Structures are given as structure tokens and as C-alpha cells.
Amino acid sequence: MVKKVEIYKEILVSEEELDKRLDELAEEITESYKNSEKELLVVGILRGAVIFMTNLVTRMDLDLTMDFMAVSSYGGSSVSSGVVRILKDLEEGIKDKDVLIVEDIIDTGLTLDYLIRNLKDRGANSIKIATLLDKPNRRKVNVDVDFVGFKIPDEFVVGYGLDYNQKYRNLPFIAALKEEVYS
């Protein structure tokens, strides 16, 4: 078994930084929805967004419901192809609801671009995006992201929900992986 400390070369976002930023994001999000008459549905994208989403919604002072989607892009695991397949769909309809999509990371933007179009077609009242991390240098399509935790450089990161081969999601911080872990 690989010990946690041996797999990362650098902590990019510490536990303290995550804690502070989540408080700020939750407040911004609460402000943005508090006067809406519509039902708020928070949609987490499995599996990477789970830790971010749970820690975010517990700090939001709003009535809301939660649902989840799982998507995968066709093609390689580390490069998005832009063709998105829904592996698990929402349990509930979203017509006339305010939908907040919660993602772990926006990279090329292709996944979110697809999701936004897909959910718009279902008649949501509004769609906003909260992402923990943003790699702006990698963007292929423009996506309006409403709430961003941290902008990070173009490095493969793990922790706080993000994985490499399904592992390291339980690191309590965001770290850049050592190159030798890939190979």
C-alpha cells in the first residue's frame, strides 16, 4: 500500500485554506439564492464533487434538496473528449427549479458545457455552477462559472474528492501528484 505522504510532491491548497474558502463560498451562494422564490436543487457530479458538496451545503443557510449525476467522457481517462455519457441521471425533474451544479474541477470545460445544455433543455429556472477548482489554462470551451474555490496551475491534482485511479480522494487537502505515481 502506498502511504499518503509518498504520493504527492506539493500541497496546493491546505486544509486551512479549504476551510476558509468554503465559508466564503457558502456565504456568496446563500446571498445569491436567498431571495429566490424557486426551489433550489444542488446537483453534485459524482464522484469527485462529493466531499466539496457535503462541506459546502452544510454551511449554506438555505432550504435545498440534493441530487447527483455521474457522467463520463468517452475516451481516455485524463483527457476529456467532449462527448459526455450520463452514467447516472437525476432522480427528480428539475423543471422550474434553481439548479446549482457542484463540480470538483473544471479543466477543458467540455463536461460542464454539455451538462449545462442538457439541464437547460429540461426546463430549469436557472443554472449556476460552483466548482472547487479551476484550471483556466486548459479551457477549450468558454463556460460561465459562478462560484470558483481556487484557480490552480495545470497540474494533475488529487485530494478532497479528486482521485488518481479512484484513489487519494480522502486526502484532506489538494495536492499535486508526483510524476512517478503516474508511471
Contacting positions for ligand XMP (CB under 6 A): 48, 80, 103-111, 156-158, 162-163
Q: Is the peptide bond before 169 cis (omega within 30 degrees of 0)?
A: no
Q: Closest CB to Mg ion among 53 and 94? A: 53
**Binds 111, which of ligand XMP, Mg ion, none (CB < 5 to 8 A, cut-off by type)?**
ligand XMP
Nearest-angstrom CA–CA distance, 92 and 37: 19
Count of positions on this chain that bind Mg ion (CB under 5 A): 1
Smallest separation, CB 105 to ligand XMP (Å)? 5
Q: Closest CB to ligand XMP among 119 and 162? A: 162
Residue identified by cell 426546463 is 123
Which positions ≥6 away from 90 have C-beta within 8 Å? 43, 67, 68, 69
Smallest Cα–Cα separation from 62: which of 91, 45, 44, 42?
A: 42
Q: Per the residue annotation, which of 107, 121, 134, 154 is the catalytic one?
A: 107
Q: Closest CB to Mg ion among 22 and 131? A: 131
CA torsion sign for 109, 53, 72, 168 is positive
In terms of DSSP bridges, do strands 8-13 and 174-177 run parallel, antiparallel, or are they unpaired?
A: antiparallel
Is 107 one of the catalytic residues?
A: yes
* 47-76 positions binding Mg ion, by CB under 5 A: 48
Q: Closest CB to ligand XMP among 26 and 158? A: 158
Nearest-angstrom CA–CA distance, 136 and 56: 22
Nearest-angstrom CA–CA distance, 88 and 12: 31
Smallest separation, CB 150 to ligand XMP (Å)? 12
Interacting span for Mg ion (CB under 5 A) from 41-49, 61-69, 127-135, 149-157 = 41-49
Smallest separation, CB 20 to Mg ion (Å)? 24
Residue 159 in the binding site for Mg ion (CB under 5 A): no
Residues recognised as catalytic:
107
Binding site for Mg ion (CB under 5 A): 48
